[in-house]
Amino acid sequence: MRILEAVDGSVLWLYRENAKAADNLRREARGRGVDGERLVFAHRVPPPEHLARYRAADLFLDTRPSNAHATAADALWAGLPVLTCRGETFAGRIAASLLNAVGLPELVTTSLDHYERLAIELARDANQLAAVKASLAANRTRMPLFDTKLFTRHMEMALVAMHERQQAGLPPGDIEIDA
């Protein structure tokens, strides 16, 4: 709500699972001084439409303590920058891993205060947000996150290394694949 208060004209776009939850969230927003209509709820749509919707947004605000997983990957693939606050658990570090793999570590924060400040900064500075989107567009096809051929080569190399260890009578162990 503080981000919405700080950024005139902004809205928070959420998935609508049920009407009661949407009503409760709007009521809570009003209780914090934010017009409940600034919460925009989207219904489930087929995957192509879902991915297309991401292009209408400016910034994906990730959640804590559990980060977005496939949803964050979908957003990045569609060209929507994801802002995250890295957590302490596996589930709280997924988006940070995705952002590092797509070359956008600057969108990984380590405190909620930094997360809030960066969200407001990006929302208020169209040039900075455009630069982040341009980096994402450029990195999407050249960084490891979406490089399926590289992933496949590495997976094949790992499987060969595991087989060789097994054939040599060695116990399971760490395998490093050189990029």
pLDDT grade, residue 21 (50/70/90)?
A: very high
Compare 115 and 16 and report the one with higher pLDDT: 115
Average pLDDT over residues 148-163: 93
In this structure, CATH architecture of domain 45-142: 3-Layer(aba) Sandwich (3.40)
Say whether pLDDT at 179 is over 80: no
Average pLDDT over residues 55-63: 95
Compare 179 and 52 and report the one with higher pLDDT: 52
Pinpoint the residues of the chain covered by CATH 3.40.50.2000.
Answer: 45-142
Long-range contacts of 123-132 (CB under 8 A, 24+ apart): 123/3, 123/6, 123/7, 123/10, 123/58, 123/59, 124/6, 124/7, 129/58, 129/59, 129/81, 132/81, 132/104, 132/106, 132/107
Say whether pLDDT at 100 is over 80: yes
Say whether pLDDT at 86 is over 90: yes
Residues 41 and 34: their CA atoms lie apart, in Å, by 16
